[in-house]
Amino acid sequence: MGRIVVVGSYNASLSIFSEALPSRGQTVLGSRLDIGPGGKGNNQAIGAHRLGADTAFVVKLGRDPFGATARAVLKAEGLPEQWIRDGEAATGVALIMVDAAGDNLISVAPGANSDLSAEEVIGLDGLFDGASHLLCQLECPLDLFTGVAARARAGALTTILNPAPAQRLPSDACRLVDVLTPNETELAVLAGRELLTDGDVIDAARELIGQGVREVVVTLGARGAIWVGPGSAQMFDAYQVAASDTTGAGDAFNAGLAAALAGGKDMPEAIDLGMRAGAFCATRQGVIGGLATAEQLDLEMPARARPAPPA
């Protein structure tokens, strides 16, 4: 069993649930407000840890009530406190709107997340000892990823980047990514064009591989996922569920993928665990309650037969 270093964001999550999402300039009446822990780094670290992965989460928090809540949550989850950094800016906040179909709109004020630097992370004594995988997202600055990924590569760690929120990646960043995990919308941003078919998705993924990314796993929501390597592409069917709230399903997928890879599973098995975790998350309202343990997945979302290897 390897060890995962998650470097990324914590955001206090303020979620309003309503029948429909508002259009530009429109106000809609919501049914309730949920306030809880969130942020892609936080969600992925907790998700991987709950699935049994040895996980270290490096994050920067403000000295404010949201930051105090974050520390309490991470302590309760059993994630080591030694990697939490104190920031001068406010703790990050995410405003989320969710409709009756489980679809969402999200806006993030990153706060202290923007102040976490690669130099600060690299200087943490013992962080990379025994680690096998680095998992990052883009709610923190891109140069945080590139700096930490270069250090991780020097230590023979596998680097996983969930490029969300999406932005165009320069070639020097692509060359530091072993596994890139965009959804369709994020991949369109990375590619700089609209993607209308699965063939377009595969072509866009291969363009990124041509820029230095080793392999790409594209999540397709209810359609599943596509794994694209230098010479092959393989489709994985989704686990079909009645979605209650899709917020965090992508984070749950990345947590499952990373946990499986760190546990020595191959990529098809890792994608399958990621899809099970993402599907489970979509059946719950709120993200943290939707991050499953291995026991919950075995009970509610049992694994299918092992996918066939690519042709």
- φ, ψ for residue 141 (rounded to 5)? -60, 150
Closest residue by Cα to residue 77 from 37, 29, 30: 37
Specify the long-range contacts of residues 76-82, CB closer than 8 Å, at least 24 apart.
77/46, 77/49, 77/50, 78/49, 79/45, 79/46, 79/49, 79/55, 80/56
Per-residue pLDDT reduced to its tens digit, 136-188: 999 999 999 999 999 999 999 999 999 999 999 999 999 999 999 999 999 99
* Apex 275 CA angle, 294 and 165, nearest 5: 110
The yes or no reply on domain 3-19+34-296 and CATH 1.10.10.10 is no
Q: Report DSSP letters for 83-133, one per residue.
A: GEEEESSPPEEEEEEE-TTS-EEEEEE-GGGGG--HHHHHTSTTTTTT--E
- pLDDT value for 130: 95
Structure-model confidence comparison of residues 103 and 119, the more confident one: 119
223 in Cβ contact with 201 (< 8 Å): no
Q: What is the pLDDT of residues 18-41, one digit of tens each?
A: 999 999 999 999 998 988 899 999
CA distances, 33 to each of 16, 69, 99, 248, 272 (Å) = 5, 17, 12, 17, 33
CA–CA distance, 236 with 224 (Å, rounded to integer): 5
Instruction: Give the active site residues.
Output: 251
**Cis status of the peptide bond prior to 302, with omega within 30 of 0:** no
pTM of the model: 0.92
**pLDDT tens readout for residues 67-76:** 999 999 999 9
pLDDT band at 207 (very low <50, low <70, confident <90, very high): very high
Closest Cα to residue 274, out of 292, 295, 300, 299? 292
Q: Give the pLDDT band of residue 308 (cuts 50, 70, 90).
A: low
What is the pLDDT of the chain when averaged over all its residues? 94
Three-class SS of residue 248?
A: coil
- pLDDT value at position 309? 57
SS3 271: helix
